[in-house]
Amino acid sequence: MTAPDDTPFDPKAHPHGHTHQHGGPVAPVSAHLRRVIAAVLIPFAAVMVAGLVLLWPGGAPEQHEHTGVGFDQQHERARVTEVTEVRCEDVGVQVQQGVEGPCEQATVEVTSGPHAGRTFTEMVPPDATQRYSEGQTVIVAYAPDAPQELQYSVTDVDRKVPMLLLATVFALAVVAVGRLRGLLALVGLTVSFAVLTLFILPAILHGSNPLVVAVIGGSVIMLVTLYLVHGVNARTSVAVLGTLISLVLIGVMGSLFIGWAHLTGNTDDQTGLVHSLYPNIEIRGLLLAGILIGSLGVLDDVTVTQTSAVWELKQAEPGASWPKLYRAGMRIGRDHIASVVNTLVLAYAGAALPLLLLFTIAQSSVGTVAFSELVAEEIVRTLIGSVGLVASVPVTTLLAALVVSADRHPVPVAAATSRHRRRRKR
């Protein structure tokens, strides 16, 4: 039994009618509202693409010839052929006081490059964190200006096989559970990695403003990945708008509090090294850019989830008003806030765990440690990202409730199905 075309759909009169909405041709929003959303997002996307073209770096800049940090050294593959224990005193290795045990002498054979087959020895003190075993593949650096016996040295182990295997397991798991949506998510991940390595990092090294580069690159990543994975529709557009508003809030708060707290961003060896190699890079902007990029991935998750929740609530109760949808969506969002904020804090704490251990054993007071620049930078990073995440829930929920309720005269399911069939016959 179907209702006439001019009869509004009544879920009470058709208690099973909701089952047809999940795959039917019902438009969730009016054509006028879709044009309004497009009028906002299309110019924004055009500006981001224009910025991408204007700031495109064309590759990473050439490295300085006198860096002195080994980045310009040639690297080859090698294999450990023998490991023997020796007395540290016999081979002239200085051991820290309180450290006991023999040293290890690893014989390494170069397996690639012009000197394949050459062997050299690598001394491993007893307090070394990296140990070698016979048959292990390692990475060695070649210094042509050094004496022949010192030209090669082990810099790292070869971990290509376990890393590629882990990546394969991850990809298979995503596709097995997510199917086509999971495959599209992997494509979006590839796009994100490409934008990061081909645009964001080289553009910053070329001297472009890190904040501008992060905004443009992050926006391109967001637009491509969200629309690719979730489709070009009003639901995805609402998630994009919610993410943009939250990113603006993070950027404004980041600029305010980083300046107010006098944070320089130059608090670790890596940042100091980058600044010494490329003095034109604005380190404080680099800190803010890192906050934006780090928050973007979690923001996408929050905004897409909240938008989908409101859409599903509307499908379950087509007659619900936007205030009712907003209140119901916020009940879901409050649980999301609690879990996401905890996730973000733990993620930053896990990344800074060695730093936290150092300050745990320090003799300074808790206040002195917390307000030092090294720790304050991580606190500001965490709190600004968390504020943006918290704000994204009500903002996105409100936008979704307004958009999904924008149709004053919703199309009945039966009428929409009938019109869809007539179009197909034509």
Residue 138: pLDDT band by 50, 70, 90 thresholds? Answer: very high
pTM, two decimals, is 0.71
Bridge partners, residue 199, by sequence: none
Higher-scoring residue by pLDDT: 303, 369:
303
Q: What is the mean pLDDT of residues 176-191?
A: 91
User: Which tokens hold the place of 375?
Assistant: 């720790």
Higher-scoring residue by pLDDT: 292, 4:
292
State how far the Cα of 384 lies from the Cα of 353, in Å rounded to an integer.
20
What CATH architecture does domain 25-55+208-425 belong to? Up-down Bundle (1.20)
Per-residue DSSP letter, 111: -
State how far the Cα of 84 lies from the Cα of 105, in Å rounded to an integer.
5
Residues of the chain with CATH 1.20.1640: 25-55+208-425
Distances (CA, A) of 65 to 140, 204, 205: 20, 20, 16
- The alpha carbon torsion through 157, 161, 162, 167 (nearest 10 deg) reads 130
State how far the Cα of 393 lies from the Cα of 357, in Å rounded to an integer.
34
Q: 74-161: which CATH number, 2.40.50, 3.30.70, 2.30.30, 1.10.8?
A: 2.40.50
| pLDDT at residue 339 is higher than 80 | no
Residues of the chain with CATH 2.40.50: 74-161
| pLDDT at residue 10 is higher than 70 | no
Starting at the earlier edge strand, list the strands of the sheet with 152-157: 119-124, 103-110, 74-86, 137-142, 152-157
SS3 198: helix
Average pLDDT of the residues of the chain: 79
Tens of pLDDT, residues 288-332: 888 888 888 788 888 998 999 999 998 888 888 899 999 999 998
User: Which tokens hold the place of 303?
Assistant: 């905004």
CB 78 within 8 A of CB 137: yes
